[in-house]
Structure 1
Amino acid sequence: MILTLQPVGRVDASVLQRIGFALAPFGEVRIAREKPLPRPTFGPGPKRYRAATFDRVCKSTDGDRVLAITNVELCDPELGLTLVFGHADIHGRWAVVSLSQFGADGETKLIERAVKTAVHELGHTLGLGHHDANPECVMFFSEKLADTDRKGRGFCPECSELAKLTLSRLQT
């Protein structure tokens, strides 16, 4: 599988490289050239980008899966969420991760949180839902940073099996 990291807006190159290195188990990771932020479509309340608007940026990027990385805050008003760390097209080929909330505790924490969120969102593109029964599984829904910090970087055995099925279909 080819996974393309698509920076949207200004994203530190070393942060992208470290995220890409951590995502290598998914397959070949490519880092695309930066694209500008999409035309703003804000949700209600604070000025946060509607996460779904990143589909336009991702659809024009090559790769079996495209992961947009941005520094702007995201929301998902269709699900009633005024702040999200990421968003994915379920069973689709794109997802977006926002780094905006991750860096207050330093770059190491930022990378760790970004990788967990990226794996979570990529899991959605592989057909995985939220795994509410296991708070250590990366597919557990993160309502707050403490949830992200608590869970691991990887799938639980159940989610791992489901992800492997989809990945094997992508490689044939």
Structure 2
Amino acid sequence: MVINYPPSLKMSKINICVVKVGKVEDFVILSLQSGLKVNFGWEVKLIGEFEIPSQSYNRIRRQFHSTTILHHIKSQFKTDDCFIVLGITSVDLYVEGLNFVFGEAKPSDKVCIISIHRLRPEFYNDKPDMKIFERRILTEAIHEIGHLFNLRHCLNPNCVMFFSNSIIDTDRKGFLFCSKCQSKLGILK
């Protein structure tokens, strides 16, 4: 699906650098590159990959602490050529106080991460569906990138910036900004 946003949202000067955190299939990166380029004009390039930091793993929860991984990404990769660094992982992420997160952003460092672990239809005992999976990846990536533009969670349940408490929220909202969030983004030329 291609969305024709106003020219002010086509921020073609934006470079998004992607970092694989652990094993991530190449098609995930290619799908994201295509979705972000077509819909926003953003250039996406893979700048590296690394193993998941062992100190991020919580044995009791059997999940990985996303904030720890974000600090590691920031310390490992120079971001001079990147406006944004997006980490992508296939492990289950959490932050303190929540059961899980689809992603996390650190606006002050222009670094964010998404997990594809809970975006796969198979996680919910559904049949594999590449269209749904790719749409979810794009939705969560745009949500976290929105935070890097200092957008907060939106109250509009159809806006990409709405907080996803479950995959149902992610599927409902999709990857579009509401008009209010679009206007906030529109000033970033």
TM-score when normalising by structure 1: 0.88
Q: Which residue in the other structure is 1:2 paired with?
A: 15
DSSP-derived class of the 1:33 partner = strand
Aligned residues: 164
Calculate the aligned-residue CA RMSD, in Å: 1.7
Residues of 2 paired with 1:123 and 1:26: CA distance? 15
Q: Which residue in the other structure is 1:31 paired with?
A: 46
Identity among equivalent pairs (%):
30
Question: Which sits farther off after the overlay, 109-118 or 19-28?
Answer: 19-28
Structure 2 gap ranges (5+): 1-13, 123-127
TM-score when normalising by structure 2: 0.80
Q: Which residue in the other structure is 1:112 paired with?
A: 135
Q: How does 1:1-172 map to 2 (within 5 A)?
A: 1-24=14-37, 25=40, 27-43=42-58, 45-59=60-74, 60-61=76-77, 62=79, 63-77=82-96, 80-103=97-120, 104=122, 105-132=128-155, 134-166=156-188, 168=189
Residues of 1 paired with 2:57 and 2:27: CA distance? 29
Larger radius of gyration: 2
Displacement after TM superposition at 1:45 (Å): 4.3
Residues of 2 paired with 1:122 and 1:19: CA distance? 12
DSSP-derived class of the 1:34 partner = strand
DSSP-derived class of the 1:32 partner = strand
